[in-house]
Chains A and B, each alone.
Chain A
């Protein structure tokens, strides 16, 4: 709303020329980050109380854990406030005519709702296994993925330049406009979108197992994609760095700033020992957000580096849990998801989280480093 107001005033009279600053992506990004951060820090205590009294307490799988040592009873579903504060601050600072923003916000909201249904089912069932079935989740995720795929692919709705709608970004390869080549998937782009959505959203969901782990490790790749969005929406920079130019994609920079502010605000309370968990509401919506950012910046292959940690956690879980525990009847890793294996080896939770953050930072830097290698 502030964006519209500023725009309106700037066009109304030259006296309001100074308001132009409120229409720039960079300044709005900073403003929105501060807004979400403040919203999180100020509103979270009330939210925690409301969630706790409303019965949204974590139900773990332990049978008889000693209360003084366990995290049982920590309020969960803090992700609701993450999503709410992002939406609120975007309402103030966002340009809602932008289709990139529509896509990413829809992804965040759909996955937040899915996670919310799951969280509520767990609380109602009184057991961590009482949530939605894997299949039910998968159906919803795939359906949304296909819808988003059509939105991005169809000429009438796609936010991308028409000739680039069905392309996939390949690491270290220049676009055709700069003498490289574009990888066109044609209609296969739609199922590809669904695949990315399902894979990435579940990846973030899986890593949410230790205090501050999901929020911290998702923050950095989301930040990387925010930087890419800012670059791809600016012809000067795309011409210099040899990237395709997507008009309007820089609005995602504002969005990413909102997410970043919200996550830092969340870590304020979620840092060890956590006062609140994000729950599936948070982790699934973060995953949906990250997946949408990957697709909207067309930096799909970059995720192999930027999201290396997520891929590691998921692959080990796939092998250790699906193949090992369920099929072969044996452990292949000490524990999965893999962060619990480090705990098994006697490394304290705080330390595991810190080390995962460091790895995530290194991967984020490497991902940014690929920018010049083309």
Chain B
């Protein structure tokens, strides 16, 4: 225990971007509270943010050269990377010799690579007799390549997000949370505002979708510009992100949209990436961000009022879960993306006008901003840094690794950063909603438009509606299918246009699927269920009608038969059925698929004229399949319902004659179990007795 006689020395390493530096400073801060005598050193890269931030926190910075790991295998970039890393490792080795740290805390990123590898080499060369333990903290839900590799040499790995553990296969990890600083700000607000040239009256809005950028946020903020043009005291900085994928180039798309605006907005600044983001955030009055755990925690803990647009359909719907949790504590303003048709494609979208209204409401209301700021500070988990500090100190004091939590042998109870009360699986959510509504989705056609009473039984219907709509843009058809069901079950009327679009979307399925008998990307089940959802919504305006019209000609038989059921439902609700649609129904009585034939016969009873119905049903009086003949009888029933036979109508006689030649042999019957029925009624009576 000789080490306790001198103060503990901790070497922090990481950086390159702010995302890796600030957590380290938070950890250092926490260690300092537990162990005031502790001494810190920081190893980073010269070009990184640490060069400016870290000295301000009173920690000496050293530099070890390193660059980002290039993708691909053999290239000049790779060679340069290896050479730089070699020099970095030498430098780091020298630093280890001079500083002789008791523990290394690495936050990942390329900046920490030289030190981690140097320490690994050190431990190897000294046969671990003079071991320097390495504590690694991973902030992201999915660890980067460098961290996954360096993680093999770490003594302990702490992660912020449970899903990160899969990135460190065969290495024990512990969910410790996302460390945030409680006592000091990296950048002073007044200083930051002075640096940016902001006066007291100016409202400073920071817009960022993370370093990659977020299409929804970028588009929404540009679309909101025209509504904000009369704000003279508003300044906006917009980091649109570095994303350059085939479908979306963040900078180009944003520039193009900006150019299309009627006038160039004043007080607006566009950047691809803000290297001094902490300064901007420190100066901000308001932020518009995504709901990744890191950015949420950083923004909230520094008390910046934020409008949050969570990204939909992530694994476990994690961003939405994060944002909903904070919104439920009134710590942020939550805005959902909504799938919208743009150029014939379904994309997530936030209307600019809506966003502008939200922004203006907050900008005009400093009291609300102060409230958000206060609640945001309260809402986030602040123990993560202490937790990590505890692990680091135990390692630094030379405790064997078994005594340090997170060795994978014991379960460490750590509250998740943010919890969600909603099932993340859409299927489970749908089943839950089905129970609340009291109707299974399959019975949509029997029930028709859902009553207000049923809808009101759904918990947090806004979220469920949002979830359903968001799922419509999901890549997997089975989840789009669940989205359709959720829209129907929540009677989300405004989504009927999107449903109509799904029904008419003729984007072909993959070649492989078509070869096996598939047709379109919106597969048969999605189209079939869309019709059921439309029945639950029960609004039949022109877009819906024309979609139903198309559905009657759909290549997939279940879509046709379900469309026929929908037409029947419309007719029953007294909706107008035009002649063209009735003619299509009549045509479908000759469909090659028998299921469609019987649905068409039944439906025609609800939409046709008496003589037409009798004539159309005539060939089916001897149909082999009982359901076809049953459909004929159902059609006749509908006929009698619709045209009361008060004065001996001429068709009544013909119908009589038709029935004389009707075949009533059948191979279908419904069993009836008297014993079971008496049993059930007895149970029922008993329960009624309970209630009374």
Contact surface of A with B, Cβ cutoff 8 Å: 63-64, 66-69, 273, 323-325, 327-332, 334, 344-348, 351
Contact partners of A348 in chain B: CB under 8 A = 667-669
Contact partners of B625 in chain A: CB under 8 A = 345-346
In chain B, what residue has the closest Cβ to A62? B440
Docked-complex contact B525 and A329, CB < 8 angstroms: yes
The one of B478, B626, B672, B680 in contact with A329, judged by C-beta atoms closer than 8 angstroms, is B478
The one of A66, A67, A328, A331 in contact with B516, judged by C-beta atoms closer than 8 angstroms, is A328
Could you list some 22 contacts between A and B, CB below 8 A? A63-B434, A64-B440, A67-B677, A68-B680, A69-B670, A324-B517, A327-B513, A328-B509, A328-B513, A328-B518, A329-B477, A329-B481, A329-B518, A329-B525, A330-B558, A331-B558, A334-B595, A344-B595, A346-B630, A347-B626, A348-B667, A348-B669
For A68, A328, A329, A348, which residue has the most chain B Cβ atoms within 10 angstroms? A329
- A interface, over-half SS: loop
CB within 8 Å of A: which B597-649 residues:
625-627, 630
Docked-complex contact B671 and A63, CB < 8 angstroms: no
Complex-state Cα separation, A331 to B677, whole angstroms:
34
Minimum Cβ distance to chain A for residue B638 (Å): 20
Docked-complex contact B516 and A347, CB < 8 angstroms: no
Complex-state Cα separation, A68 to B524, whole angstroms:
34
The one of B524, B672, B680 in contact with A330, judged by C-beta atoms closer than 8 angstroms, is B524
Contact partners of B626 in chain A: CB under 8 A = 346-347
Contact partners of A334 in chain B: CB under 8 A = 595
Contact partners of A69 in chain B: CB under 8 A = 670-673
Contact partners of B519 in chain A: CB under 8 A = 330
Docked-complex contact A345 and B627, CB < 8 angstroms: yes
Docked-complex contact A323 and B481, CB < 8 angstroms: no
Known: A323-B517, A330-B518. 5 other contacts (CB 8 A): A66-B680, A67-B677, A68-B680, A328-B516, A346-B625
Judged by a CB distance under 8 angstroms, whether B526 is at the interface is: yes
Judged by a CB distance under 8 angstroms, whether B594 is at the interface is: yes
Contact partners of A329 in chain B: CB under 8 A = 477-478, 481, 518, 523-526
Q: Which 8 A-B pairs have the closest CB atoms?
A: A329-B523, A330-B524, A346-B626, A68-B677, A328-B518, A346-B627, A346-B668, A329-B525
Judged by a CB distance under 8 angstroms, whether B679 is at the interface is: yes
Judged by a CB distance under 8 angstroms, whether B349 is at the interface is: no
CB within 8 Å of A: which B459-484 residues:
477-478, 481
Contact partners of B434 in chain A: CB under 8 A = 63
The one of B440, B669, B676 in contact with A63, judged by C-beta atoms closer than 8 angstroms, is B440
Contact partners of B680 in chain A: CB under 8 A = 66-68
Minimum Cβ distance to chain A for residue B512 (Å): 9
Contact partners of A325 in chain B: CB under 8 A = 525
A-B pairs under 8 A by CB, number: 72
Complex-state Cα separation, A318 to B531, whole angstroms:
27
Judged by a CB distance under 8 angstroms, whether B81 is at the interface is: no
Contact partners of A64 in chain B: CB under 8 A = 440
Complex-state Cα separation, A328 to B672, whole angstroms:
38
Contact partners of B557 in chain A: CB under 8 A = 331
Complex-state Cα separation, A348 to B478, whole angstroms:
32
Minimum Cβ distance to chain A for residue B586 (Å): 23
Docked-complex contact A347 and B518, CB < 8 angstroms: no
Docked-complex contact B673 and A273, CB < 8 angstroms: yes
Proximity bits, B558-601, A CB within 8 Å = 1, else 0: 10000000000000000000000000000000000011000000
Contact partners of A330 in chain B: CB under 8 A = 517-519, 523-525, 556, 558
In chain B, what residue has the closest Cβ to A351? B667
Contact partners of B513 in chain A: CB under 8 A = 327-328
Contact of A347 with B668 at beta-carbon distance under 8 Å, contacts A67-B679, A330-B525 already known: yes
Contact partners of A331 in chain B: CB under 8 A = 524, 557-558
Contact partners of A323 in chain B: CB under 8 A = 516-517
Contact partners of A332 in chain B: CB under 8 A = 517
Complex-state Cα separation, A93 to B237, whole angstroms:
91
Complex-state Cα separation, A331 to B519, whole angstroms:
12
Minimum Cβ distance to chain B for residue A350 (Å): 9
Minimum Cβ distance to chain B for residue A128 (Å): 14
Minimum Cβ distance to chain B for residue A97 (Å): 49
The one of A67, A328, A344 in contact with B523, judged by C-beta atoms closer than 8 angstroms, is A328
Complex-state Cα separation, A271 to B627, whole angstroms:
25
Contact partners of B673 in chain A: CB under 8 A = 68-69, 273
Complex-state Cα separation, A323 to B509, whole angstroms:
14
CB within 8 Å of A: which B490-538 residues:
509, 513, 516-519, 523-526
Complex-state Cα separation, A348 to B668, whole angstroms:
5
For A63, A323, A330, which residue has the most chain B Cβ atoms within 10 angstroms? A330
Complex-state Cα separation, A69 to B673, whole angstroms:
7
Contact partners of A67 in chain B: CB under 8 A = 676-677, 679-680
Complex-state Cα separation, A68 to B556, whole angstroms:
35
Minimum Cβ distance to chain B for residue A60 (Å): 14
In chain B, what residue has the closest Cβ to A349? B671
In chain B, what residue has the closest Cβ to A326? B478
Complex-state Cα separation, A330 to B677, whole angstroms:
36
Complex-state Cα separation, A331 to B509, whole angstroms:
16
Complex-state Cα separation, A329 to B525, whole angstroms:
5
Complex-state Cα separation, A348 to B666, whole angstroms:
9
Complex-state Cα separation, A345 to B523, whole angstroms:
24
Minimum Cβ distance to chain A for residue B593 (Å): 9
Minimum Cβ distance to chain B for residue A73 (Å): 8
Minimum Cβ distance to chain B for residue A192 (Å): 28
Minimum Cβ distance to chain A for residue B556 (Å): 6
Minimum Cβ distance to chain B for residue A352 (Å): 9
Proximity bits, B140-173, A CB within 8 Å = 1, else 0: 0000000000000000000000000000000000
Complex-state Cα separation, A273 to B677, whole angstroms:
15
